Structure 1
């Protein structure tokens, strides 16, 4: 059987992974950002994210939240209010059509000191071609910013520090192992399509009920974020695996 290779944006990756039942319920609802899809998602969820289908580094991302008087659109540190979903879409239509956007279910993310954070799991192939989790790091968002990305001002921190106000002892250690395993599992599914990729960066959010959500998998992950940690053990391991 011939191996299949795809070049997919966020939506393509989502639709591919959604076919696999072992992770499908951990994927936030994601659709192309058409007017009808946006209206449907606004009726279904209290918060949404608009993301460029092929964007990286947290650039061009917007958050939409429902308010008593309509909707608020936030991008960077600015916000605008709209009375209706149509008015909201009309203001975004040119941007959406130009850059091909997706709309994604907003996750009520776990917080540390009142600030949202997510997790990047680095998964790489070893000499034998087997996928191994080589790093895990937390990204703490800046106050009043809607993204946690390192290059958008997010602070890289050990995941144990971000989770310690929610879990402790064996529960904390077991949960971190669970996230590491989830990152490897999700990467193994995407690797069915991306057969030539040797590294995957899995972005995982944890909601207020401690459920992990696979937000996105980057097939060209930035490794420099791990160098921001004081302990360089993970970064050195990642660099070593990058040579295989």
Structure 2
């Protein structure tokens, strides 16, 4: 059976908004236009603009109003640019789009580690075609200096255990354990919802934790990077588990006969594959 096309950020937002367990964890998102940007800025004070088909944090902009009433636009790791009016900011944004479709999204007040925003990657896998979803690990991604994105390669950020990150943010052991358990529970529900579109062998969910402990689903990756987990400064246990389950899936797939592709890219080695990001990676 032919694979369905990969969904971009906008269609994925609409797809997950139909799921009760995901809907309340989604930041408000609209297609970008002058009107939607103005209304979202008025509602939330700060927003992210992201290419609908973008990946790895590339092309992301953050837009907000400063105390002088100016509109500030910052691209990924670049310095912010101030505009006197929203119309002038929109001209700059249009030029930066390069003809690509963008979404505008509510900016979540992300939890910070030593003054830098963080989010969490939760990895879900199958160890055989048609098998049940298995939780394989999670890591915290800490943004690099002056970056609005947590993508490690782009921002020169840090990957560490979620426990370490939340401890450095001042959380107790009980708070950490409760939040990690909830993240795993939600990731199972979200992975099962993804199956209603088409099956995948692995999924990576990028999740924000806000300053009040709220959980926000930022991005769904259908070809998630394994190497991200190899960069964890707190050890390789999750990375080895991920690699092991990838190998188990490959063995089962070969035993089943004809090649079955259940991820956007089915190369023989997971770390040689190019990760496909189907939504966002905000700061």
Classify the TM-score, shorter chain. over 0.9
- Would you say the 8 A contact 1:51–1:62 is kept in 2? yes
Query: Does residue 208 in structure 1 map to residue 207 in structure 2?
Result: no
CA distance in 2, matches of 1:114, 1:215: 20
String of CA shifts for 1:134-167, please: whole Å, max 9, x gaps. Answer: 0100001112111111211121011100111432
Matches within 5 A, 1:16-165: 16-68=15-67, 69-75=69-75, 76-96=77-97, 98-127=99-128, 129-152=131-154, 153-164=156-167, 165=169
Unaligned runs of at least 5 residues, structure 1: none
Please list every run of at least 4 consecutive aligned residues from structure 1 whose deviation after the TM superposition is greater than 6 angstroms: none
Q: State the TM-score, normalizing by the size of structure 1.
A: 0.93
Partner of 2:269 in structure 1? none
Quote the offset at 1:3 in angstroms: 11
Equivalent residues, number: 242
CA distance in 1, matches of 2:118, 2:60: 16
- Would you say the 8 A contact 1:4–1:193 is kept in 2? no
Partner of 2:276 in structure 1? none
Quote the offset at 1:7 in angstroms: 2.2
Select the residue among 224, 227, 241 that pairs with 1:224: 227
SS in structure 1 at match of 2:99: helix
- Would you say the 8 A contact 1:58–1:151 is kept in 2? no
Partner of 1:179 in structure 2? 183
Select the residue among 225, 233, 238 that pairs with 1:234: 238
Q: State the TM-score, normalizing by the size of structure 2.
A: 0.81
CA distance in 2, matches of 1:185, 1:83: 45
Quote the offset at 1:232 in angstroms: 1.4
String of CA shifts for 1:110-149, please: whole Å, max 9, x gaps. Answer: 1111111100001112335211110100001112111111
Q: Please state which structure has a larger fraction of its residues in strand.
A: 1
SS in structure 1 at match of 2:108: coil
Query: Which stretch shifts more, 135-144 or 166-175?
Result: 166-175
Aligned-CA RMSD value: 1.8
CA distance in 2, matches of 1:35, 1:3: 38
Unaligned runs of at least 5 residues, structure 2: 250-283
